[in-house]
Amino acid sequence: MKYVSAYIVNYCYGTVFKKIIKIEWKYNTLSVVKPDQSLVAWAVSVRIRLQELLANQRFRVTDIACLQDLGMAR
């Protein structure tokens, strides 16, 4: 949560918080295996959803903050 609050304060002034929460929720739901879902089907769905998120440049706040700490992000 430290990264999230620091990112919002330093880089997202005036940004819609619902958008940030929606993106974080999408990443958080990737790790959930549904009761009637096989592990292979889950892995395929995670790969597809993750590729869609990254292709649309929907990055997690924590990932951006970590990359900035390493000097690898804008």
How many angstroms separate the CA atoms of 73 and 54, rounded?
A: 15
| Poorest-pLDDT segment among 11-25, 30-44, 45-59 | 11-25
Sorting pLDDT into bands at 50, 70 and 90, what band is 1? low
Per-residue DSSP letter, 46 = H
Find out whether 64 and 73 touch, Cβ atoms under 8 Å: yes
How many angstroms separate the CA atoms of 39 and 53, rounded?
A: 21
Find out whether 54 and 47 touch, Cβ atoms under 8 Å: no
**Domain coordinates in residue numbering, the chain:** 2-69
pTM, rounded to two decimals: 0.59
